[in-house]
Structure 1
Amino acid sequence: MDQSPPDTQPAKSASWARHAPLAIILIVAVVGFVTLRDFLTFDTLRDNREALIGYRDAHFGLMALAFIAVYFVIVAFSLPGAAVASVTGGFLFGLVLGTGLNVTAASLGACAIFLAARLGLGRTLAAKIETSDGSLKRLKKGLHENEISVLFLMRLVPAVPFFVANLLPALVGVRFFNFAFTTVLGIIPGAIVFTWIGVGLGEVFDRGQNPDLSLLWEPQIIGPIIGLCALALLPMILKAIRGKKEI
């Protein structure tokens, strides 16, 4: 005879339900990496450029919505091809609208994976950190005291993978509004660069080449981004200086 408390089964079901979204994302990410990494490429874009341009000209609104949906899925499920999607935004819609669509789709996808992680593993991990007494809890406290600055840095530093910047904040209990706010603003500089590359993509294809994404590391591009990183660090530096003076 089962002697377990009557509410054990519902509690287990609720736990599985909370973890299901993140589990689905991880499974789709692995399957997508294996099956789509050779498909979501610039070669595929080159081969289908005329069809995409023709559909855009005939159904501009639908094309914009379809682009946002595809880019959203790529980001939300951490699929390969985010850079290709960003460049495609500039190729199909120009610098201003392309940047807007890129930022919108990437931000919505980032928020989706953040909420999925927060709902399941993030809630459990944040609770464990809160009840701990070691350095992990001090790290979380320090993060929350400088939440905006740290989140901006994660978005601005090109070396931080996008999926890491989406998942890590959810796992340490970052506030959703701060995450969404810093995501939208923090990805704008990089989005402008990738969209700008896409604007001239037709000429690159005509030469039989692929776009050079190393442009992001050119001094005239990385310099302003480093400047924005310094601005994001400034509040943390001033707070540390004030703390030392009080001591």
Structure 2
Amino acid sequence: MTRPKLVAIAVIGLAVALFFMSGLDRHLTLQSLKANRELLVSYSEQHRLAAVSLFIGIYVVQTALSLPGAAILSLAAGAIFGAVQGTVYAVIGATLGATLAFLVTRYLFHDAVQEKFGHRLTTINRELETAGLNYLLFLRLVPLFPFFLINLAAGLTHLPLRTFIIGTLVGIIPGGFVYVNAGASLATISNPADAASPRVLGSFALLGLFALIPVIYRKFTRRA
């Protein structure tokens, strides 16, 4: 591994370590959000542009470094900015952060992984190059796959950057809206998991399966 890559890994590791050592993770809780909601809303009303920029920046850093707190940030978006605008800001922040995580992973580890396991990943790479958007939408919509793992794993494949951005942007809107909308009624939430009911999660899974229909159809017609 080259020196610039080692330096990049060290910087990322240091940033993650500082996050936990500084205790910032203890502030990304539902209780902290409820306790500070009035203060945050007041600041947002007086300094709208700064509040939006700061929120999106925090969301980008959290997602890019795969730090905990995404659900709390989405709830905060609704609590501070409202359901519609909060969803827009949360989706922008998450998409930008995911793209950074994707690019960093591709830069640091893609070549090494492909060199060592490329012969085993040939089929996967071919599928992602031709139907990557469908697969990514499925992964983003079905609530079984951790968001940060998808970002990192995608960077190790041949999935095109443009496909990753579009699939992420579109795929996270439904789930993002659910959490942001719940944040708009923050008083009714006692646990971040309460934002999404089993029925809602099942609906997302169904949407994810619909995203795979074109892939299944192409495979069926080829065999036929």
The alpha carbon displacement at 1:191 in A equals 0.4
Please tell me whether the aligned partners of residues 153 and 232 of structure 1 are also in contact (alpha carbons under 8 angstroms): yes
| Cα drift, residue 61 of structure 1 | 1.4
Partners in 2 of 1:63 and 1:238 — Cα distance?
Answer: 46
Return structure 1 stretches of 4+ with deviation > 2 angstroms.
18-39, 126-130, 135-146, 209-215
The Cα offsets for residues 28-87 of structure 1, whole Å up to 9 and x where unpaired, read as 335535643322111111222222121111111111111111111111111111110000
1:198 aligned to 2:183? yes
Q: State the partner residue of 1:21.
A: 8
Contact 2:72 2:192 in 1 (8 A): no
SS at match of 1:48: helix
Task: Give SS of 2:121's match.
Answer: helix
2:171 and 2:13 map into 1 onto residues whose CA distance is: 25
CA contact (8 A) 1:107 1:183 kept: yes
Residue type of the alignment partner of 1:139: I
Mapped to 2, the partners of 1:144 and 1:91 lie a distance apart of 39
Are 1:152 and 1:186, in contact at CA under 8 Å, matched by a contact in 2?
A: yes
Provide structure 2 residue ranges, at least 5 long, that are not aligned to the other structure.
Answer: none
Is 1:162 paired with 2:147? Answer: yes
1:168-225 deviations in Å (ceiling 9; x for gaps): 0101121100001100000001100001100101x33xxxx62452342331x22431
Larger mean Cα displacement after TM superposition, 70-79 or 95-104: 70-79
Q: Which amino acid aligns with 1:166?
A: N
What is the correspondence of 1:122-137 to structure 2 with a 5 Å cutoff?
A: 122-130=110-118, 132=119, 135-137=120-122
Aligned length: 223
Paired residue for 1:150? 135
Q: Partners in 1 of 2:9 and 2:212 — Cα distance?
A: 31
Matched, 1:68 2:22: no
Q: Which residue is 1:213 aligned to?
A: 193
- 1:48 aligned partner: 36
- Work out the CA distance in 1 between the residues paired with 2:142 and 2:14: 27
User: Is the 2:30–2:192 Cα contact (8 Å) retained in structure 1?
Assistant: no
Q: Tell me how far apart the structure 2 counterparts of residues 19 and 154 of structure 1 sit (CA, whole Å).
A: 30
Say if 2:218 is the partner of 1:239.
Answer: yes
Whether the 8 Å contact between 2:91 and 2:176 is mirrored in structure 1 is yes
**Does residue 157 of structure 2 align to residue 172 of structure 1?**
yes
SS in 2 for 1:210: coil
Q: Which amino acid aligns with 2:150?
A: A
- Which residue is 1:189 aligned to? 174
Q: Spell out, residue by residue over 1:129-148, the C-alpha distance to the aligned partner (whole angstroms, 9 max, x if none).
A: 44x3xx43233323333211
Structure 1 residues 166 and 33: CA distance shift in structure 2, 3 A: farther
Greater radius of gyration (CA): 1
CA RMSD of aligned residues (A): 2.0
TM (norm. structure 2) is 0.90
Change (3 A) 1:24 1:242: farther
Classify the secondary structure of the residue corresponding to 1:112.
Answer: helix
Q: Label 1:59 to 1:226 Cα distance change in 2 as closer, same or farther (>3 A).
A: same
1:185–1:233 Cα change, 3 Å: same
| Structure 1 spans left out of the alignment, 5+ residues | 1-11
